Amino acid sequence: MNDDLRTEKEILNGNFKLITELKEFRMSLWVNGFGIVDGKTQQEILPLNTTFNLDDFTEHEHTIEIDFRIYPNGNVTYNVIINPFEKSFIYLTKVYALNDFNPTFFETESSN
């Protein structure tokens, strides 16, 4: 892996890190994959997924709001609020366990 393509940004007062990694999905299409790790223990909170493209994020007091798309389609933008302290996320007003993040969106994407 080329370290120039991977970045780590401290979030939520340094308690966590937002990991992003650029990956060429197809010729001239780069996807900015993302994941979250514990800032102290380096434990993976949300696994890095390079088919999810991070479009934007905003930090709030105890949460991070993320807009992303899923490739190869990439036509739909998803908005979630992640609470890494509680290992949960909110999507369409419903609260999910963070370990259900990938299955929730792969199932949603396949129905689009």
**Predicted confidence (pLDDT) per residue in 92-109, tens digit:** 999 999 999 999 987 765
- Domain ranges, residue 54: 3-111
In the predicted structure, residue 38 carries a pLDDT above the cut 90 = yes
Please state the domain count of the chain. 1
Whether the model clears a pTM of 0.95, i.e. scores above it, the answer is: no
Strands (DSSP E) along 1-112, which ranges? Answer: 6-11, 16-26, 29-38, 44-49, 52-59, 64-70, 77-83, 88-91, 94-97
In the predicted structure, residue 112 carries a pLDDT above the cut 60 = no
Cβ burial 69-102 (10 Å sphere, 16+ → b, else e): bbbeebeeebebebbbeeebbebeeeebebeebe
pLDDT tens digits, 67-94 = 999 988 889 999 999 999 999 999 999 9
If you ran DSSP here, which 8-state letter would residue 62 be given? S
CA distance 48 to 73: 19
